[in-house]
Amino acid sequence: MGDGSSGPTMDLLRSEPMQLVQLIIPIESAFRTISYLGDLGLFQFNDLNAEKSPFQRTYAAQIKRCAEMARKLRFFKEQMRKAGLSPSTKSLRSGDIDLDYLEVTLGELESELIEINSNNEMLQHTYNELSEYKLVLQKAGELFHSAQSIVAAQQSELELYNTTEQSVERSLLLEQEITMDPSKQQSVLENAVIDPVLGDEVEKNVFVVFYSGERAKNKILKLCEAGQFFREQTIIFISLLEDSGGVSGRLAELKTTIDVGLAHRSNLLQTIGFEFEHWNFLVKKEKSIYHILNMLNMDVTKKCLVAEGWCPVFAKDQIQNGLRRATLDSNSQIGAIFHVLQTKESPPTFFQTNKFTSAFQEIIDAYGVAKYQEVNPSVYTIVTFPFLFAIMFGDWGHGICLLLATLYLIIREKKLSSQKLGDIMEMAFSGRYVIMMMGIFSIYTGLIYNEFFSVPFELFGPSAYGCRDQSCRDAYTAGLVKVHDTYPFGLDPKWHGSRSELPFLNSMKMKMSILFGVAQMNLGIIMSYFNAKFFGDNINIWYQFVPQIIFLNSLFGYLSLLIIVKWCTGSQADLYHVMIYMFLSPTDDLDDNQLFIGQKFFQILLLLSALAAVPWMLFPRPFLLKKQHEERFQGQSYARLDGSDYPPEIEPHSVSHNHEEFEFSEVFVHQLIHTIEFVLGAVSNTASYLRLWALSLAHSELSSVFYDKVLLLAWGYNSIIARGIGLSVFIFATVGVLLVMETLSAFLHALRLHWVEFQNKFYVGDGYKFYPFSFASLGQDDE
């Protein structure tokens, strides 16, 4: 695996060499050791206490303590959110933590904030009650003033009566009208008021109840307390002589007190916000260290902790330096021991990626994490994925739009990376370099297709074709002759709009799809050879790689050769006829379909090779595996039996070395399934690449329809409004359909071609990722 002094390979083709390591750490330096390893971020700890529950572990009390501090920090964050404040990101800094001091500080701040909130709620409740009392006084005063006005008006009328009996009768009628009319005993408040109990704005009415005597008062109280309607209402007894002047003064004093309390609360939250991110990171860091310590075993002397885990081979010196530094900083008399273990476990897969390659690696990992040190498809995906996308999306105008959008994300990536984006924007931002490559390749293929929003341009010189007479100038239907040299790059612009455009483009793109598909499938089979050679598996080289490469190229490699020869010679041979009768009548003469001398004999040779490749794949391998299994337990030299790609020194525990019965039937059935899958897949996978042609044609036709039937049609009207509407529809259709839906569609189809047609030729993808303990991975919301 290499020595410990070697640096990282920075090689995406194969994962970093890994080693299983045992650390024996003195207890007095254990905390600093884990902390320094977390800063380094190159050691993945194994849980040696998996059988224990969280409450049975050594440092359960410390984790509970950190959880309580984390709860207080969440309380502070919620209070800041309600106050419209956000934690300051400038306060995050590194440094040692005094957990006792931080715990006391957080407790004091929580108590102070709770007390401030409680006082504020009490004052606010009193303020709301007084505000309601003031409104009652005002409305009651208005009612009594209205009643007095009515009495005065009615008294003047009494003077018109001549007898005392008439006067008394009129007075009784007036009193009954005032006291019995409900509309004169209540008043609706114009604006909603804050209810003292609920704390919400509610619509309320002011009622006036006239009574006489204490007994009537008690009855009214009991009625209000028992009634559901009045349960949360305010009952106020007022004097007719009381005014609202005193209440207004008390309200002003309460308002001042509340404002002072809110200002103090705001200052306290701002102080907390400045330190919040730092405290939050320190608490998470502390908790993560104790979580790792809980994964370690205590040795029999109770003086050391034993850790096991994986690390890259190149990190050996860095880890040992961290162990020595932790010993010195802890004033420990005994240093930690670094010991490499021999194991048959499967190591984790670790690729060192950067911000450019990480997105492509994520595309591969979404299908399956690479098995330890098998060939990594992302090396080729960096180029092939955006290129296959661009074949389906070829338009250099649309490509420029994609490129400009991603350049904006790339230029502002530092600012955007610190912000919370939505789900869709987060996906686009994380894949910004993938989309950038997709845009660049789309510009390239768009120049080959000569399409700019479906419009052709003579960018690389004049068209090779011209009109023979005036009749062909209005429509490209006939009369085109070659007047210049061949157009130097891409499609001649005169093909666009001609009668032959669609047949020509269909033929070209369909054949081009087959060429690229066969080339990529051959690349996948070649990668299987490098996998087998790397792991020393000669059986897979001779009885899988060789027959597979022969079978694929005897059929579809030959078809690709015919396409190239036909393009180079300008032959009119029917390739469909050639391929069909190669199987049905291989001995018949080719006649007009012959493209080169000796083609008939060559086809018969290829057909026989393809037929021979099938039993070559099927029969020898199971028998050879059985033979080697028997030799293995006779003490003779042997090759690996399980067909896995692991070297012997890292063979998984699941592969037993006991003398077990070789299940020949199971191995043979597995090989039969694999052979049938490859033979049928060679046909279906080649046909699957025709999606490149189909989606490219669909994208081109949609773009042409939007340009001809929307933009040009609107431009034919001599009206600014019509042209504006047409331009708006064209822009929205282009963005919504071509730049969003078509981009997503082409992306998914390119993804399928890589996951199925390409990777199934060599990629196992049953590994697991290397997740080192690292403080850099502590997210904002991780617990």
Write the pLDDT tens digit of every residue in 181-204.
Answer: 555 566 666 666 666 666 566 677
Q: Residue 710 is encoded by which pair of tokens?
A: 């929307």
Over the range 124-141, which residues count as b (16 or more CB within 10 Å of their CB) and which as e? bebbbbbbbbbbbbebbe
* Residue 91 reports pLDDT greater than 90: no
Q: What is the DSSP string of 394-412?
A: --HHHHHHHHHHHHHHHHT
Q: What is the 3-state secondary structure (H, E, C) of 322-369?
A: HHHHHHHHCCCCCCCEEEEECCCCCCCECCCCCCCHHHHHHHHHHHCC
Q: Beta partners for 337?
A: 24
CB atoms within 10 A of CB 668: 17
* Residue 77 reports pLDDT greater than 50: yes
Q: Residue 42 is encoded by which pair of tokens?
A: 């190159």
Helix (H, G, I), strand (E, B) or coil at 485: coil
Helix (H, G, I), strand (E, B) or coil at 194: strand
* Residue 240 reports pLDDT greater than 70: no
Q: What is the pLDDT of residues 523-553, one digit of tens each?
A: 999 999 999 999 999 999 999 999 999 999 9
Over the range 66-88, which residues count as b (16 or more CB within 10 Å of their CB) and which as e? beebbebbeebbebbeeeebebe
Q: Which residue do the tokens 């809110």 mark?
A: 262
User: Model confidence at 471, in pLDDT bands (50, 70, 90)?
Assistant: low
Q: What is the pLDDT of residues 414-424, one digit of tens each?
A: 999 888 888 88
Residue 54 DSSP label: G
Average of per-residue pLDDT across 356-360: 95
> What's residue 331's pLDDT?
92
Whether the CB-CB separation of 27 and 305 falls below 8 Å is answered with: yes
Q: Please state whether 249 falls in left (phi above 0), alpha (psi between -120 and 50) or beta.
A: alpha
* Residue 329 reports pLDDT greater than 50: yes
> What's residue 298's pLDDT?
87
Helix (H, G, I), strand (E, B) or coil at 187: strand
Q: Beta partners for 188?
A: 205
Q: What is the pLDDT of residues 194-236, one digit of tens each?
A: 666 665 666 777 777 767 777 777 777 777 666 544 444 545 5
Whether the CB-CB separation of 429 and 479 falls below 8 Å is answered with: no
Give dist(CA 103, CA 99) in Å, integer.
Answer: 6
* Residue 606 reports pLDDT greater than 90: yes
Write down the pTM of the prediction.
0.81
How far does CA 149 lie from the centroid of its chain? 73
Q: In terms of Cα–Cα distance, which of 493, 432, 436, 428 is closest to 460?
A: 493
Q: Which residue do the tokens 């309390």 mark?
A: 261
Give dist(CA 74, CA 106) in Å, integer.
Answer: 11
User: Model confidence at 3, in pLDDT bands (50, 70, 90)?
Assistant: very low
Average of per-residue pLDDT across 367-371: 95
* Residue 688 reports pLDDT greater than 90: yes
Q: At what angle do helices 691-706 and 378-393 cross, to 10 degrees?
A: 40
Whether the CB-CB separation of 407 and 436 falls below 8 Å is answered with: yes
Residue 375 DSSP label: P
Torsions phi, psi for 207 (to 5 deg): -110, 145
User: Model confidence at 86, in pLDDT bands (50, 70, 90)?
Assistant: confident
Average pLDDT in the chain: 84
Average of per-residue pLDDT across 40-46: 96
How far does CA 578 lie from the centroid of its chain? 48
Q: Residue 596 is encoded by which pair of tokens?
A: 């080169």
> What's residue 482's pLDDT?
75
Give dist(CA 549, CA 545) in Å, integer.
Answer: 6
